[in-house]
Amino acid sequence: LYIIGKAGVGKTKLLELMLRQDITYGHGLCLIDPHGDVIEAMLDYIPKERIDDVCIIDPSDVDFPASFNPLANVDPMFKFQLTQGLIEVLQKQFGANWTPRLEHVFRFTCLALLDYPHATMRGMISMLTDRNYRQKVVEYITDDMVKRFFAIEFADWSEKFDTDAIIPLVNKLGQFLSDPLLRNIFGQKQNKIDISKLMNSRKIIFINLSKGRIGEENSSFFGSMFLTKIKQAGMERANIPEKDRTDFYIYVDEFQNVVTQTFENILSEARKYGLNLTMAHQYVGQINAKIYQAVLGNTGSIISFRVGGEDAVKLKPEFDPLFGVKDMINLAVGEIYIKMTIDGESYDPFSAETLRVLPATHPSYKEEIIAASRAKYAIRKEDAGKLIAEEEATIIRSKEEKEMIKGKGRTQASDDADAVSEQKEESKTSQEAEPMI
């Protein structure tokens, strides 16, 4: 379902109505909410019998960060698909600055870490900058081509390549992971959030992108990352007989923030894997022409609230001959035009009004829901920091790094580093022959 309309015309209220219906009927669903307002409203509508079904992923929950490691326990059959999804996430962040060389390096970095049992998102930076960590990971790589990349190709690159590929990747990943709210989520080795399991057991997943708290770019990265994992979980349903695939409903508000090539794939393959996608945004210009055509080509039903003149012209072919440009730009709040497809057959568009969102008929269980979700899918902030620090400590470091971390002191560490440097200079010839990984 594709929903479009200006701000303040009723899109959010329509999403709330649809979500309430799915929750009442016991369906599994995922809501990706850019600001968290819809999630806040929905928590009041969750009935008592579904308290334990809710998984809340919220970066703004400072005291209880979710435990999510997208690199953990990935089925070897799907590691190439996940890698491609992660590439698309990063490509979206780089925009026009994305290059084949960046893609080449990032692809092999992801493939290497997916073979490493202790991999985290933080390890992506270490893989590119820390020789000792890289050597440690290479020992676990099972694919000869990936191993050869780090043993030969990566080792032979000049310093210029650092500027062209390594530094831009480290900068972009560092921007994401330098935010403690996100680092506490993605820096953990453990993964308590199994998207595939949640999807197949009809759970309710609320993903708050917290755009106002973590910024637009990090919010986009965060949402795109989860959408990639949702796609992977959907593809894993290929192992389940089609008749046993339970419907799962995905709602994405302001979907232009998280749309990647992965989104196109979900659109084209959703029905096959029992995924039902509802996406909403304000105007066509927020997405590129290719995505817009993919949306129209794969969407069964379209709902238009009041839109601007330019969008009305673009949407006119979908609602002709019953509704024209003037009709679409003059709709009142809550009024809509709908074009529906039922069982593969398209029907004439018609007009309608959205219902009012009535208060819940039961007490709010918001506090109980949040507590249950934290217990299952999150960890205390102090424990997360401790686990991340312990994982960092397992990385093999140079002597000077270890001494700096232990607090030996900047001066002493600097003196030791100079001594090490002198020793390296004396044995420079012999070290030149040593392969760099």
List the CATH number of the domain containing 230.
3.40.50.300
In whole angstroms, what is the distance from residue 206 CA to residue 54 CA? 7
Residue with the larger pLDDT of the pair 262 and 67: 67
pLDDT attached to residue 210: 86
DSSP 298-311: H-S-EEE-S--HHH
Q: Average pLDDT in the 117-141 region?
A: 90
Do residues 293 and 308 share a domain? yes
Bridge partners (DSSP) of residue 352 are 336
Chain-centroid distance of CA 435 in Å reads 37
**How distant, in Å, are the alpha carbons of 100, 105, 225, 268, 412 from that of 265?**
21, 24, 15, 5, 55
Q: How confident is the model at residue 42 (pLDDT cuts 50, 70, 90)?
A: very high
Asked whether the predicted pLDDT for residue 316 surpasses 60, the reply is yes
Asked whether the predicted pLDDT for residue 89 surpasses 60, the reply is yes
Do residues 199 and 182 share a domain? no
Residue with the larger pLDDT of the pair 28 and 262: 28
pLDDT attached to residue 194: 93
- Closest to 238 in 3D by CA, of 273, 193, 209, 278: 273
Asked whether the predicted pLDDT for residue 105 surpasses 70, the reply is yes
pLDDT attached to residue 395: 64
pLDDT attached to residue 216: 87
Q: How confident is the model at residue 335 (pLDDT cuts 50, 70, 90)?
A: very high
Preceding omega of 349 cis (within 30 degrees of 0) = no
- Closest to 45 in 3D by CA, of 278, 371, 365: 365
In whole angstroms, what is the distance from residue 328 CA to residue 314 CA? 11
pLDDT attached to residue 257: 87
In whole angstroms, what is the distance from residue 262 CA to residue 234 CA? 12
Mean pLDDT of the chain: 86
Residue with the larger pLDDT of the pair 45 and 151: 45
Do residues 321 and 246 share a domain? yes
Q: Average pLDDT in the 279-294 region?
A: 90
Residues 329/331/333/338 CA torsion (nearest 10 deg) = -100
- Most confident range (mean pLDDT) of 162-166, 312-316, 357-361 is 312-316
Q: Which two tokens stand for residue 52?
A: 């334990």
Do residues 343 and 435 share a domain? no
Asked whether the predicted pLDDT for residue 415 surpasses 80, the reply is no
- Closest to 415 in 3D by CA, of 400, 397, 395: 400
pLDDT attached to residue 160: 63
Q: Is residue 395 part of a domain?
A: no
pLDDT attached to residue 374: 96
Q: Average pLDDT in the 361-390 region?
A: 92
Do residues 214 and 275 share a domain? yes
pLDDT attached to residue 151: 85
Do residues 222 and 182 share a domain? no
Do residues 336 and 216 share a domain? yes
Q: Average pLDDT in the 245-255 region?
A: 92
Identity of residue 158 = S
In whole angstroms, what is the distance from residue 195 CA to residue 61 CA? 20
Residues 292/294/298/302 CA torsion (nearest 10 deg) = 0
pLDDT attached to residue 364: 92
Do residues 276 and 324 share a domain? yes
pLDDT attached to residue 397: 54
Q: Contact 279/14 with Cβ under 8 angstroms? A: no
Do residues 25 and 150 share a domain? no
Asked whether the predicted pLDDT for residue 201 surpasses 90, the reply is yes
pLDDT attached to residue 394: 67
Range of the domain at 140: 69-187
Q: What is the pLDDT of residues 140-157, one digit of tens each?
A: 999 999 999 988 888 777
User: Structural domain tally of the chain?
Assistant: 3
- Most confident range (mean pLDDT) of 2-6, 189-193, 390-394, 421-425 is 2-6
Q: Average pLDDT in the 181-207 region?
A: 92
Residue with the larger pLDDT of the pair 409 and 326: 326
Asked whether the predicted pLDDT for residue 432 surpasses 50, the reply is no
Q: Is residue 278 part of a domain?
A: yes
Residue % of the chain over a pLDDT of 70: 89
Q: pTM, whole model, 2 decimals?
A: 0.86
Do residues 212 and 352 share a domain? yes
Do residues 365 and 433 share a domain? no
